[in-house]
């Protein structure tokens, strides 16, 4: 039996942003809010948000 894995905070942020795009909150190609505001809205730290945004950029 494999252990249950929980996503890291940056991975959870990536999943949440992708879900928000899927829900129509943002459209693919839209500019996201400024990082400070986005971090505040998602209730996450700036470093975790930056890591998540880098991951999203790498995904295209």
Residue by residue, pLDDT tens for the chain (60 residues) are: 788 888 899 999 999 999 999 999 988 888 999 999 999 999 999 999 999 999 999 987
Compute the distance between CA of residue 47 and CA of residue 4 in angstroms, rounded to an integer.
25
Contact 17, 23 (CB under 8 A): no
pTM: 0.83
Q: Given the structure tokens 């929980």, which residue do they identify?
A: 6
Tokens of 10: 């940056």
| Residue partners of 20: CB distance under 8 A and separation at least 6 | 26
- pLDDT for 55 equals 96
């Amino acid at each position: 039996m494999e252990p249950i894995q929980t996503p890291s905070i940056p991975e959870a942020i990536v999943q949440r942003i992708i879900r928000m795009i899927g829900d129509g909150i943002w459209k693919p190609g839209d500019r996201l809010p400024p990082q400070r505001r986005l971090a505040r809205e998602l209730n996450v730290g700036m470093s975790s948000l930056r890591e998540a945004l880098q991951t999203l950029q790498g995904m295209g």
